[in-house]
């Protein structure tokens, strides 16, 4: 294969890989390792792709039908690079609470929080100005996290009547010893020093910063907006919370 043909093949492989989901490419590699027939009649079933993505991949194998092993090795190398880059990049999306007829293209706050909690593997940190029982499905998902042994930390404001603390204690009392660790701001001289953030951090890779409290109105009928981020930036947010606890700005109640 001369240099021109090699460069053309490389460009076509990179184009097909960049346009295809990682999961589909992994299925393709598994089929190759299992020595299954790979071609225009089997690619749809193997990868689950359709439309332009399937067409690009099909053309690749049609154009280089006599060099399938070379193509597959290039796809494998390109996929590993794609996976490595995806773990190093931050991704963000808009999240909101609002009328469904307006925001059909944007994910709903409540469903995003439920998804984040259900995907938790080790730890969840929730910073909330208000958390009430009326955010029912979210509270239930937090309970499931506790049952799975997920470390749960909740940071709330130091309200003088301790209403927030008492409500949280009541909410999770049915989970027995599996309780969230509740922190509050340490009492300061300044009148305006409050915990007003609304943030959820799951493990070290999923972050939601939102205007929504974990209340009925915040989840259902206020206009709320936020940003969900995934990637290395999430650990920086978690480190900020840890530093606030380590330096005793937040103290366990």
Domain ranges of the chain: 3-88, 91-252
Residue-by-residue pLDDT tens, the chain, 253 positions: 777 888 899 999 999 898 888 889 999 999 999 999 998 899 999 999 888 889 989 999 999 988 989 999 999 999 988 877 766 778 899 999 998 888 778 999 999 999 999 999 999 999 988 888 899 999 999 999 999 999 999 999 877 667 777 888 888 888 878 889 999 887 665 666 788 899 999 999 999 999 999 999 999 989 999 999 988 899 999 999 999 999 888 989 8
- Residue 5: the pLDDT is 83
Distance CA 122, CA 230 (A): 16
Cβ atoms within 10 A of the Cβ of 93, count? 13
In the CATH hierarchy, which top-level class contains the domain 91-252?
alpha beta
- Residue 166: the pLDDT is 81
Alpha-carbon distances, residue 245 vs 1, 28, 184, 252 (angstroms): 61, 47, 9, 9
pTM score, whole prediction: 0.67
């Amino acid at each position: 294969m001369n240099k021109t043909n090699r460069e053309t093949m490389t460009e076509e492989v990179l184009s097909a890989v960049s346009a295809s989901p990682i999961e589909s490419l992994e299925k393709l590699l598994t089929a190759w390792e299992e020595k299954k027939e790979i071609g225009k009649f089997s690619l749809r079933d193997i990868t689950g792709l359709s439309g332009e993505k399937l067409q690009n991949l099909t053309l690749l194998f049609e154009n280089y039908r006599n060099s399938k092993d070379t193509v597959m090795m290039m796809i494998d190398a390109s996929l590993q690079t794609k996976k490595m880059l995806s773990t190093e990049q931050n991704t963000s999306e808009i999240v909101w609470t609002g009328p469904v007829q307006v925001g059909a293209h944007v994910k709903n706050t409540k469903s995003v929080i439920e998804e984040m909690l259900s995907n938790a593997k080790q730890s969840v940190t929730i910073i909330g100005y208000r958390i009430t029982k009326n955010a029912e499905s979210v509270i239930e998902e937090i309970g499931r996290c506790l049952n799975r042994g997920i470390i749960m930390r909740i940071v709330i404001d130091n309200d003088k009547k301790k209403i927030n603390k008492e409500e949280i204690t009541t909410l999770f009392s049915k989970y027995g010893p599996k309780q969230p660790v509740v922190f509050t701001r340490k009492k300061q001289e300044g009148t305006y020093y409050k915990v007003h953030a609304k943030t959820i951090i799951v493990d070290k890779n999923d972050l939601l910063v939102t205007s929504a409290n974990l209340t009925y109105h915040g989840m259902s009928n206020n206009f709320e907006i936020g940003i969900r981020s995934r990637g290395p930036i999430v650990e920086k947010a978690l480190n900020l919370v840890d530093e606030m606890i380590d330096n005793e700005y937040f103290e366990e109640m």
